[in-house]
């Protein structure tokens, strides 16, 4: 696992702006400007949000890893994790991953109500199961806002407690992936 630092930070920022210029690297903000390449998969049958036993955790991890394999098998990925604070300064001690950037996500005249997102990135080879511990924490809502992307930042997997938002390069690619996993889709008319 490589930490991103120095020129790598600038490279990540440039790649992000090339592919996702209408949104900061914050998972929940991507859906609206990129709905033409977005699909949401639910982690459990019948859109159940949380696993209650090991057999359900196995389903959650299988679904996450199946999509991640389709996106990233045989490549390297960036795993981008956020740290949310009310402070502009990066808290100490910092997470073990490489610092990328900080964003003011919620601006407010009252500093007490401002929210900052400090992003940390690591680069690693994608291997099925390599981030299962993180994915399980996400499924349990212990961690949120993680983005997993290829090293060119063309495809994004944004897991959350209950599923994953996936952003692809074209609507055709999105449709093919959506159709392969139609049983994992929401019944909501807008795909939520």
**What confidence score (pLDDT) does residue 3 get?**
52
Q: Give 6-49 pLDDT, tens digit per residue.
A: 445 678 999 999 999 999 999 999 999 999 999 999 999 988 99
DSSP 35-61: GGGEEEEESSGGG--S--SHHHHHHHH
Query: Quick one: tokens of 62?
Result: 């299988």
In this structure, how many other beta carbons lie within 10 angstroms of the beta carbon of residue 172? 10
Q: How far apart are CA 110 and CA 52, in angstroms?
A: 40
**What confidence score (pLDDT) does residue 41 get?**
97
Neighbour-count burial of 157, counting CB atoms closer than 10 A to its CB (0-12 exposed, 13-18 middle, 19+ buried): buried
Cα distances from 172 to residues 37, 38, 175, 180, in angstroms, run 8, 11, 5, 12
For residues 51 and 62, is the Cβ–Cβ distance under 8 A?
Answer: no
Q: How sure is the predictor about 65, in pLDDT bands with cuts at 50, 70 and 90?
A: very high
Q: Give 146-183 pLDDT, tens digit per residue.
A: 999 999 999 999 999 999 999 999 999 999 999 999 99
**What confidence score (pLDDT) does residue 107 get?**
73
Q: Give 81-120 pLDDT, tens digit per residue.
A: 998 888 877 766 565 568 899 998 877 677 777 888 999 9
């Amino acid at each position: 696992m490589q930490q991103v630092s120095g020129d790598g930070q600038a490279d990540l920022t440039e790649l992000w702006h090339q592919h996702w210029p209408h949104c900061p690297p914050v998972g929940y903000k991507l859906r609206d400007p990129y709905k033409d390449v977005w699909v949401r998969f639910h982690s459990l049958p019948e859109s159940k949000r949380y696993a209650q036993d090991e057999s359900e955790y196995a389903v959650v991890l299988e679904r996450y890893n199946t999509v991640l394999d389709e996106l990233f098998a045989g490549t390297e990925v960036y795993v981008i994790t956020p740290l949310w604070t009310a402070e502009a300064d990066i808290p100490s001690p910092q997470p073990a991953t490489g610092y990328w950037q900080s964003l003011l996500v919620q601006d407010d005249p009252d500093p007490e109500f401002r929210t900052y997102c400090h992003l940390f990135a690591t680069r690693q080879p994608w291997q099925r199961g390599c981030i299962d511990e993180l994915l399980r924490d996400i499924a349990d809502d212990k961690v949120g806002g993680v983005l997993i992307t290829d090293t060119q930042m063309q495809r994004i997997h944004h897991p959350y407690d209950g599923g994953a938002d996936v952003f692809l390069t074209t609507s055709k690619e999105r449709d093919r992936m959506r159709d392969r996993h139609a049983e994992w889709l929401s019944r909501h008319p807008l795909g939520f």
